[in-house]
Amino acid sequence: MLVVALGAGFYFGVYQGQVIEYEKLVKMRDSVQTKFLKNQRIASKLDLYKKEYAKLEEQLQKALGELPLKKEIPSLLTKIGELARNQGLDIMRFQPKGENKKDFYAEVPVELKLTGTYHQAALFFDSIGNMERIVNIKNLKLGDANAEGGETKLSIDCRAITFRFIENAPEKSKKKGG
């Protein structure tokens, strides 16, 4: 009886606690080992990740090149005006409008009224399309054809829309459910 009582006391007092502690340590070891293997796989591909990061950074810089910052907008608008003059178009109206803010960019529209030949207008739109920056031409209207000096001059109304990157774009506010 005494041996059974000592055996039961040892089992419930010492041994059972040690078994539970052992099982906790085995689970902890397994989770640490799994994390170690995962980190080891990541570390073995570190060069690949660095190359991918550099490639993504390059793409970001290219995208930022297509979306100018606010300080670059005046020079971009000047460039559009120069392209029109270089193609022989007369600028009757060049009127920047207010920005329309979107998620991470803002649209910067400019109302244009130009006069020139159809060929000059086509070359102007082609040169706009070849710019590094994104510029869309919308609401194009050709009209009022007049013969001047052996050429047919057209009145060209359009809206040139360029885009600029908004630094620190505000995140959409989340409404609280109630």
How do the pLDDT tens digits run along the chain, 178 residues long? 888 888 888 888 888 888 899 999 999 999 999 999 999 998 888 888 889 999 988 887 777 666 666 666 677 778 888 888 888 888 888 888 888 888 778 888 889 899 998 999 999 999 988 887 788 899 999 888 888 778 888 899 999 888 877 776 555 544 444 4
Q: For the whole model, what pTM was predicted?
A: 0.56
Give me the pLDDT at residue 65, please: 65
Give me the pLDDT at residue 27, please: 96
Q: Cβ(133)–Cβ(66) under 8 Å? A: yes
* DSSP bridge pairs for 90: 115
Q: Cβ(137)–Cβ(128) under 8 Å? A: yes
Determine the Cα–Cα distance for residues 67 and 64; give it in Å rounded to an integer: 5
Residue 26 corresponds to which amino acid?
A: V
Give me the pLDDT at residue 57, please: 87
